[in-house]
Amino acid sequence: MSEAVKFHFDVDGSDFSSAGAASVMVKKKLRQLGYPPEVIRKVSIAMYEGEINMVIHANGGTADVEVYDNEIVIILSDKGPGIPNIELAMQEGYSTARDNIRNLGFGAGMGLPNMKKYTDSMEIDTRIGEGTTITMRVSL
Amino acid sequence: MTVRQTAEALGLTLLCGDGDREISGVYVGDLLSRCMSRVTEGCLWITIMSNINAVAVAALTDPACIVFCEDVEIDDVVLDRARENDIAIAKSTLDAYALCVAYHNACGENQ
Ligand SMILES: Nc1ncnc2c1ncn2[C@@H]1O[C@H](COP(=O)(O)OP(=O)(O)OP(=O)(O)O)[C@@H](O)[C@H]1O
Ligand SMILES: [Mg+2]
């Protein structure tokens, strides 16, 4: 077993203009490491959506990406408001994004469904008033 | 067709990026999390969402060119970020429908 490659990012919740930067960085690294385009696409979509959600719904957080021999694990952790109803939040089209956020192009209610669709597993651990941690795995 | 040939045929103004890339396919959309899963590598992405977040989506999905249509305003920071990420951006006064029709016709003529 070779040592896992790990990346850690602090995701700034106050800066919309840099939202997505961590995902772009991970994409570039995975490309350098020679991963197949389909894998990079899945990781990019899943991580981007999670990263943006932390920015627009949770005032930022942290993103960790761990690359193992058989899978890539993405862990997104925030200290935001939590998700009261996961089943509802997972529905395509459900969004609590306000108008100023929607004007930027967010709020289609497709982020969480995309994260589920483009990963092999997704776990949501959320506590109201404490925060949310989402762990996603993409098999290699 | 390449990005440059397409720009000529459709009357687009190419603002930055590689004009020699071949285009395969077109996607029209403004809601970023839909675009994230629908914009494919090498496509022409037509949108009015001319902000920095659209550039992040392009950096991840790698379209051949983003076309900001309907003469929407484009900030310099958007172009700067696009240059940093080697993303081609063009603009047009036409709307998405007119651009799609023009692209379709241009593809026919170039065959
Ligand atoms: N990290 C989070 N903390 C708190 N609430 C969240 C978090 N992530 C998602 N949510 C809630 O779940 C809803 C659905 O999320 P989802 O990503 O699917 O859509 P969206 O972010 O509203 O829009 P889109 O992702 O399409 O731009 C959000 O509107 C929000 O209410
Ligand atoms: Mg979202």
The CATH number linked to B62 is 3.40.1390.20
B29: nearest CA in chain A?
A: A105
In Å, how far from its chain's centre is CA B36?
14
Q: pLDDT 10s digit of each residue in chain A, 140 long? A: 578 999 999 999 988 888 999 999 999 999 999 999 999 999 999 999 999 999 999 999 999 999 999 999 999 999 999 999 999 999 999 999 999 999 999 999 999 999 999 999 999 999 999 999 999 999 99
Mean pLDDT of B30-37: 97
Q: So what's the pLDDT on residue A1? A: 59
Residue B7 CA to residue B5 CA, distance in Å, equals 5
**pLDDT tens profile B22-31:** 999 999 999 9
Look at chain B and report how many structural domains it folds into.
Answer: 1
Distance A57 CA to ligand 1 centre (A): 6
A11: CA distance to ligand 2 center in Å?
A: 15
Residue B51 has its nearest CB partner, among A41, A49, A104, at A104
Contact call for residues B50 and B71 (beta carbons, < 8 A): no
> CA nearest A17 in B: which residue?
B52
Token output for A56: 């627009």
| Minimum distance, in Å, between the CA of residue A131 and any CA atom of chain B | 22
Containing structural domain, residue B56: 3-110
Token pair for residue A39?
A: 């894998």
Whole-angstrom Cα distance, residue A128 to residue A80?
8
Q: How confident is the model at residue B110 (pLDDT cuts 50, 70, 90)?
A: confident
Q: Which residues contact A22 (CB under 8 A, 6 or more apart)?
A: A9, A11, A47, A51, A63
pLDDT at residue B111, as a whole number? 67
Question: Domain spanning A5-139 has what CATH number?
Answer: 3.30.565.10
B64/B58 Cα distance (integer angstroms): 9
